Amino acid sequence: MFVRDGDLWTSGGVTTGIDMALGMIEADLGREVAMDIARDLALFVLRGGAESQVSRSLVLQQGATSPVRDVIAWIESHLDADLSVDALAAVARMSPHESA
């Protein structure tokens, strides 16, 4: 987790420092540049040559609108929750019909 208060940025650790740096890049250079860098930094495990080197979560977020990004972020932090269309529509503050 990182916090921004005007021009002051702070984070609670190494990994969150990376998140904070990406937040700074997004603030200065835009979301597309930050997403490109985040994709290049996706080093969760040493993967074989046949495995994708791209984070699936980043791919989903890249083209997503803000409400969709919010739902993706919510899903990632609530994997044990009800992930039905009705529940996700509520998270997005939409009707189930609008979200389907």
Which sequence spans correspond to the domains of the chain?
1-52, 64-100
6 CB-contact burial (10 Å; exposed 0-12 / middle 13-18 / buried 19+): exposed
Distances (CA, A) of 32 to 9, 29, 51, 62, 95: 21, 8, 24, 8, 30
Tokens encoding 30: 């835009």
65 vs 63: CA distance, rounded Å = 7
50 vs 29: CA distance, rounded Å = 32
What are the tens digits of pLDDT across the range 20-64?
Answer: 888 889 899 998 888 888 877 764 443 434 445 566 666 666 666
> In terms of pLDDT, which residue wins out, 99 or 30?
30
